[in-house]
Structure 1
Amino acid sequence: MLLLNGDEVRKAFPVTEAYRVVAEVMRRYSAGDVVQPVRTVLGPGCDGSLFAAMPCHVTGESDSGYGLKAVLHAPGNTNRDLPTHVGVVVVFDPETGQPLAMMEGAAVTALRTAAASAVATDALALPDAGDLALIGAGTQARSHLLALREIRRLRRVRLWNRGNARAKEFLQWARTHTDIDIERMNSPAEALCGADLVCTTVDTTEPLVSAKDLAEGAHVNAVGSSVPGKRELSADAVASCSAFVDSREGAQRESSELAAPIEQGLLPADRPLPEIGEVLLGRHPGRSGTSERTLYKSLGMAAQDVASGFAIVQSAQRLGIGTMTDFTG
């Protein structure tokens, strides 16, 4: 079995490859070539921790087979200077069933989540969109900046983050790793003013984005609040957008963001929730006009992790990176 740490995952899975793999698996999911139950989430309620297990099978000529992702949200790690999301992705040899590889899950999650947002942005955003608002300054904000600059020319990027230290770290990182000048704003509304691309990456129960803050024609990737009870966008903001999802089944069961406008009577319960894969397959037209606001509500799918895992293994083997261990010995 091949073991891969976070740095090795990032080396083996560049942004362009992540885009290719995630776009293809979103097509496969909407075409019925993925077996994926809605994730199992455990929360004891005593410390705010959550544990999620996500198995699946992906059918296809490449990047396919059985795999799973297991992730633990440990909020106390903030005070330990450790990641709050800890996990692994495991994939199994399609022929023998033996464990093929285990890799650091947070790196896979960051790369495939940003890739999915890039796929959704490419499919739904206006062709000339390039004024980006980043809400949040953590790992997902970094990965989204790198992913979106590959599919749109970013004319302007504005950042808002609640904490001063992390915002400064983000700006320093951006100066080192990109040639993009980032403007730091004092409020989410300031960052969002006139932005035609939006990425919200904050784990929060209190919405940060209202309908009045969103520009006409904007495309929003909402990725930070991915469990029930968490919301980045207010009900009126969601209601003002045409919403798209990665998995309709998962979104209907897990997204408080999409449920809120229905509960408040702003939208009907039978509101359509087209999948990005359906847009890519030509089964849904996607955006219908230049003034239409579009929303990609990202909850993440095990299929994205597993397909990415198989692609990462192949790349790591070509590069000769990772550590081999005899799992059966």
Structure 2
Amino acid sequence: MSRHKENEARSSIPYLGQDVVERLLSEKLAFDLVSEVMQRVAEGTTRQSLRILLPLAEPRLFGCMPGALAADGPFGAKVLSVDPRFALAGASSHQGVVMLFDPDSGLLVSLVDAAEITKRRTAAASAVATEALARPDANRLAILGTGEQAESHIRAITDARSITSVTIWGRSREKAERMAKELGDELGRTIGVAGSAQEAARRADIICTVSGASDPILCRDWVEPGTHINAVGSSHERASEIEETLVASVRYFCDSRQGALAQGGEFIRTNKLGLIGEDHILAEIGDVLSGKAPGRRSADEITLYKSLGHIAQDLACGWRLHQIATTAEPSM
């Protein structure tokens, strides 16, 4: 590429903002992309390093997640700041961009809004795990938390399977009721509000913890046999949404074994108590999807999927959006 063309390409890098991601990345498309790319992660054909989290003034974090869809495929990184106070001001707690580089030219070719793509790919991953691990007849969904992931998880999981009831619990009853009303009206269904996390859990056979709580909000005695849990909200080793005795009793799966061992707060706390060892991580979800590892074995087992978020999910979704936006032939 000539110097002139290279400079021209750099000066016209498209930014795919929140509105573009909302419009182009449907629940179904995100589900399909995440399902495919997590199988690639488990096969070892993607490239990534452990997520970097730099603590700043409490409670802010600066994060960087680098990776590639293949050794010779599209590559890039998600760079973002994380601060729950952003959400209190009506914005996303995750602010930043996914940077996409073309594998042939090596040029930065697109920037994608990190908040919206994170929200959608995370919920899609939970929907994928739910389809792989929940009982076929599981149809009662409980959402513990009322942040941005609560809404996206309701959308993704009700899109992926037939859900007969949805219940929300949050520390703010007012916020939970407002979300239930607004989202229920939009989706054309009744969404219930529970007075406690225990009440919500006992109504459900699919539970998503999306609170970001530092200490457990879901206890072993509240979870019925046969339940599937998506543990999503805690994103570093110092936070855990799930009680240790519950973690020890489940069939435990994750998006990344390396990530769960280093940054999965629920696993780390339970391991430090001596209740589990590293073999408690049965498989990455990609191996379950490809049939290389068994998932649920019986109707009464409790399964748990630990989601820490994976750069391959961001890159797969971001690259497809880049292709759509630039009318390129879709491929990964």
Q: TM-score, normalised by structure 2?
A: 0.91
Structure 1 pair 273/285, CA: closer, same or farther in 2 (3 Å)? Answer: closer
Q: 1:177 aligned to 2:189? A: no
Counterpart for residue 27 of structure 2: 15
Q: Which residue number corresponds to residue 287 of structure 1?
A: 296
* Residue matched to 1:48: 59
State the SS of the aligned residue for 1:149: helix
String of CA shifts for 1:230-285, please: whole Å, max 9, x gaps: 11111011112101000001110001101222222222343233100011121101
Between the aligned partners of 1:70 and 1:83, the Cα distance in structure 2 is 14
Report the Cα offset of residue 314 of structure 1. Answer: 1.9
Distance 2:162 2:71 in 1: 33
Return 173-182 or 120-129, whichever deviates more.
Answer: 173-182
Mapping of 1:164-313 within 5 angstroms?
164-313=173-322
Matching residue within 11, 17, 28 for 2:40: 28
**Corresponding letter in the other structure for 1:131:** R
Could you tell me how far apart the structure 2 residues matched to 1:272 and 1:73 are? 27
Q: Alpha-carbon deviation of 1:166?
A: 2.3
- Of 13-22 and 85-94, deviating more is 85-94
2:160 is paired with a residue whose SS is coil
Distance (Å, rounded) in 1 between the aligned partners of 2:121 and 2:326:
20
| Aligned residue in 1 for 2:157 | 148
Once residues 246 and 312 of structure 1 are traced to their aligned partners in structure 2, the CA distance between those partners, rounded to angstroms, is 22
AA in 2 matched with 1:114:
A
Q: Match for 1:58 among 62, 69, 94?
A: 69
Q: How does 1:8-157 map to 2 (within 5 A)?
A: 8-44=20-56, 46-59=57-70, 64-157=73-166
- Can you give the 5+ residue segments of structure 1 that lack an aligned partner in the other structure? 320-329
The alpha carbon displacement at 1:179 in A equals: 1.9
Task: State the alpha-carbon separation in 1 of the partners of residues 277 and 58 from structure 2.
Answer: 36
Cα pair distance change 1:80/1:148, threshold 3 Å: closer
Distance (Å, rounded) in 1 between the aligned partners of 2:161 and 2:124? 13
Give ranges in structure 2 of 5+ residues lacking alignment. 1-12
1:129–1:152: 8 Å Cα contact kept in structure 2? no
Higher normalized contact order (CA 8 Å, seq sep 6+, divided by chain length): 1
Residue identity over aligned pairs, in percent, reads 37
Give the aligned CA root-mean-square deviation in angstroms: 1.7
1:5 to 8, 12, 17: 17
* Aligned-partner Cα distance in 2 for 1:78–1:151: 27
Give the equivalent residue in structure 2 for 1:159: 168
Question: Can you list the C-alpha shifts for 1:99-126, whole angstroms capped at 9, x where unaligned?
Answer: 1110110100011001111111111000
CA distance in 1, matches of 2:180, 2:272: 39
Per-residue deviation at 1:78? 4.3
CA distance in 2, matches of 1:180, 1:219: 22
**Residues 181/221 of structure 1: CA separation in 2 closer, same or farther (3 Å cut):** same
d(CA) in 2 for partners of 1:156 and 1:12?
Answer: 28
1:195–1:79 Cα change, 3 Å:
closer
Instruction: Give the secondary-structure state (helix, strand or coil) at the position aligned to 2:283.
Output: coil
CA contact (8 A) 1:194 1:214 kept: no
Amino acid at match of 2:70: T
SS at match of 1:150: helix
What is the CA distance between 1:175 and its match in structure 2? Answer: 2.5
How much does 1:194 deviate?
4.0
Count how many residue pairs are aligned between Structure 1 and Structure 2: 316
Aligned-partner Cα distance in 2 for 1:175–1:271: 38
CA contact (8 A) 2:28 2:160 kept: no
